[in-house]
Amino acid sequence: MSENSFPGWHGTTIIGVKKGGEVVIAGDGQVSLGQTVIKGTARKVRRLSPGGFDVVAGFAGSTADAFTLLERLEAKLDATPGQLSRASVELAKDWRTDKYLQKLEAMLIVTDGSELLVITGAGDVLEPEHNIAAIGSGGNYALAAARGMIESDLSAEEVARKSMAIAADICVYTNGNLTVEKISK
């Protein structure tokens, strides 16, 4: 099998929902190698605390690549305490210009409780519309479901959980084993 045809390890479907003064990031637990489920209980949502500054990050894509990016983000946050946007832009710049980082196949959703951002390998740092961000193979399903519920009386966590349940029912690369982290400012 050539390197280009190797399916790789992939972790999928993360949603971030900002509502009612809190932000919730939820991620499923499935890790797939091609069409095979390798693990169903992975933790793809992490709480980072560089310098006592809490940030929640969720990742989709290649697991090893995502951990590399999380380490880099933590270093950027150490260098710019309390400035999530600045740290995210610095990470995105490095990701786009560094030949090693350019090969990483992952995306991140990050929040400090006030900002909700998506960081991509194309050098993008995006603040999503409607206070909802979703990435990964089931991301569009979760995003559509959350958009339909965001104006209801449900809390951010309830919207995230119900959206992930819908995505898990539709996307074969998403399961119902959730990791959910909540943060507020």
pLDDT over threshold 90, residue 167: yes
- Which of 12, 13, 111, 174 is labelled catalytic? 12
pLDDT over threshold 70, residue 11: no
Is the domain spanning 3-174 CATH 3.60.20.10? The answer is yes
Question: Is 132 in contact with 118 (CB distance < 8 Å)?
Answer: no
Mean pLDDT of 160-173: 96
User: How confident is the model over 39-86, as pLDDT tens digits?
Assistant: 999 999 999 987 778 999 999 887 777 788 889 899 999 999 889 999
In Å, what is the CA distance from 32 to each residue of 65, 82, 171? 14, 35, 12
Is the pTM higher than 0.95? The answer reads no
pLDDT at 49 (0 to 100):
84
Q: How many angstroms separate the CA atoms of 100 and 122, rounded?
A: 14
Domain extents in the chain:
3-174
Determine whether 12 is an active site residue: yes
